[in-house]
Structure 1
Amino acid sequence: MSRLRGRFKGPVFTRTEETTTTDQRLLDSQGGSEWLHADPWRVMRIQAEFVEGFGALAELGPAIAVFGSARTPPDHPSYAQGEQVGRLLVEAGFAVITGGGPGAMEAANKGACDAGGTSVGLGIELPFEAGLNEWVDVGINFRYFFVRKTMFVKYSQGFVVLPGGVGTLDELFEAITLVQTRKVTRFPIVLVGVDYWSGLLDWMRDTVLADGKISQGDLDLIHVTDDVEEAVRHVVAAQEGAER
């Protein structure tokens, strides 16, 4: 019986010859730190981030993710709306998950904390933001955006989206895509701020829909309102529908 000529590195077969083993390289403490940035080690870091996230959030219970701009100042109307969103979601029985940063995220965390609820912050390693805001009860800081996004979608029963920039739009359209492609079901998406969002929605309707790139059903996935109480009622109704 013929055998492949070469050697195995764990489960991977290779024909290349090496003079050292994996164990030897692991136990040899001398050398530089370049290995920390190699792709196989990144896989371990990615795995570790998933494990940490799952472990921290597995028993969270019903939760809603609140997105919005990190640049929203405390005296802006959107900040007050964020606080109200966080408070009303807690009163409705939800934990509140944000990106853990300043601005609108901080406002939602603060509202949740003030209402005595669970306030979660899922931060991301960025060069221009430092740490989680002071209103986060349960905080995780991620290296990788895709791991963080998985946590938002896996542990949230819906999104409430305050006025925001590129990061907010990224999360919004990711959620729309996941619902549209049925990767997640019964997932309400509420935009707070009619004036802020109307230009985007008009473009989607008058250009994207008109050109046949989306369907009316895709637009119907989005609920837009100026009324924070209505926004919370919408996610509560969706949750009640999912439990029937």
Structure 2
Amino acid sequence: MSNEFQNDPEHPPEHYRGPVVLRREKRVGDSTTDQRLLDSRGPSDWVHTDPWRVLRIQSEFVEGFGALAEVPKAVTVFGSARTGRDHPEYELGRRIGTALAEAGFAAITGGGPGSMEAVNRGASEAGGLSIGLGIELPFEQGLNPWVDLGVNFRYFFTRKTMFVKYAQAFICLPGGFGTLDELFEALTLVQTKKVTKFPVVLFGSDYWGGLHDWVRNTVLREGKIGEKDAALLHVTDDIDDAVQIVQDAYKAWEDTH
């Protein structure tokens, strides 16, 4: 991912270490918390620190739950951090954020630049609640200026929990590995009924059509998933259609609660 804020004079380069923000290259250490947790190379001292890391992980869950507990119905939108502000996908993300706000949904993104910024911007400008869930990374990336409620995380798995727990649907704009990771994790959670009434919308048939065809024509045909599993994916190029899918799923969820 690139940092669209790097050359923005109104948003100086910043680096996050959990809830701590470091700006203008005033850093202490270069590795991230996830890296130190998962990388077993080097001295064996790390073995003795894991019990304390558990407390830090616990604190991230407590902070996330506390910050997001009062969030109304919401939709998590994923997309590329590499999308420039002059790219058509940026305007698309902005319109999706606006449409979600007008439909009464808060918009949750990863809080970064690109498509994430566009969605946050559209939601915020339309008077909706714009939420950004940031992550500590080894390169510069901060919460974009259109995040109204922001939480920064050290660990990806904590952040992923928040993306799912406080949303009623996922919308995936064109994106890279991060978007694909969240997409398939969401599908797995729905398939295994860890979450229910949770639609996954792939926005942009030109971008997602090949993946959707592969799921149906290869994965389904080979018997690796069932027809109900394949039907979890919704591909569309229409914003109203995407929002309607979300609204229908939310109404179905309300009817069972």
Which category of TM-score, normalised to the shorter sequence, fits these structures? 0.7 to 0.9
Is 1:93 matched up with 2:104? yes
Following TM superposition, where does structure 1 have runs of at least 4 consecutive aligned residues deviating by more than 4 angstroms?
34-37
Find the structure with the greater CA-based Rg.
1
CA drift at 1:78: 1.2
Whole-Å Cα distance in 2 between the matches of residues 173 and 112 of structure 1?
25
Q: Find the partner of 1:39 among 32, 43, 50.
A: 50
Is 1:243 matched up with 2:254? yes
Q: Find the partner of 1:196 among 200, 207, 228.
A: 207
Q: Which residue of 2 aligns with 1:135?
A: 146
Whole-Å Cα distance in 2 between the matches of residues 138 and 114 of structure 1?
14
Q: Which residue of 1 aligns with 2:181?
A: 170
Cα deviation digits, residues 111-152 of structure 1 (max 9, x gap): 001001111000111112421000001111101000000001
Q: Find the partner of 2:197 among 183, 186, 204.
A: 186
Q: Which residue of 2 aligns with 1:227?
A: 238
CA drift at 1:172: 0.4
Q: Which residue of 2 aligns with 1:116?
A: 127
User: Is 108-117 or 71-80 further displaced after alignment?
Assistant: 71-80
User: Is 129-138 or 62-71 further displaced after alignment?
Assistant: 129-138
Cα deviation digits, residues 82-131 of structure 1 (max 9, x gap): 10110010110111100000000000000001001111000111112421
| Secondary structure class of the residue paired with 1:38 | helix
Q: Which residue of 2 aligns with 1:19?
A: none
Work out whether residues 35 and 41 of structure 1, in 8 Å CA contact, stay in contact via their aligned partners in 2: no
The amino acid that maps onto 1:174 is E
| Secondary structure class of the residue paired with 2:70 | coil
Q: CA RMSD in A?
A: 1.4
CA drift at 1:191: 0.7
Q: Which residue of 2 aligns with 1:151?
A: 162
Work out whether residues 125 and 142 of structure 1, in 8 Å CA contact, stay in contact via their aligned partners in 2: yes
Work out whether residues 163 and 192 of structure 1, in 8 Å CA contact, stay in contact via their aligned partners in 2: yes
User: Is 47-56 or 69-78 further displaced after alignment?
Assistant: 69-78
CA drift at 1:240: 1.3
Q: Which residue of 1 aligns with 2:9?
A: none
Whole-Å Cα distance in 2 between the matches of residues 210 and 129 of structure 1?
43
Aligned residues: 211
Q: Which residue of 1 aligns with 2:226?
A: 215
Q: Which residue of 1 aligns with 2:216?
A: 205
Cα deviation digits, residues 152-182 of structure 1 (max 9, x gap): 1100000011000000000000000000000
Is 1:81 matched up with 2:95? no
CA drift at 1:35: 7.8
Work out whether residues 110 and 135 of structure 1, in 8 Å CA contact, stay in contact via their aligned partners in 2: yes
CA drift at 1:66: 0.5
TM-score by length of 2: 0.80
Whole-Å Cα distance in 2 between the matches of residues 243 and 36 of structure 1?
46
Inter-CA distance 167–243: structure 2 relative to 1 (3 Å threshold): same
| Secondary structure class of the residue paired with 2:198 | coil
TM-score by length of 1: 0.84
Inter-CA distance 90–36: structure 2 relative to 1 (3 Å threshold): farther
User: Is 140-149 or 34-43 further displaced after alignment?
Assistant: 34-43
Percent identity over paired residues: 67
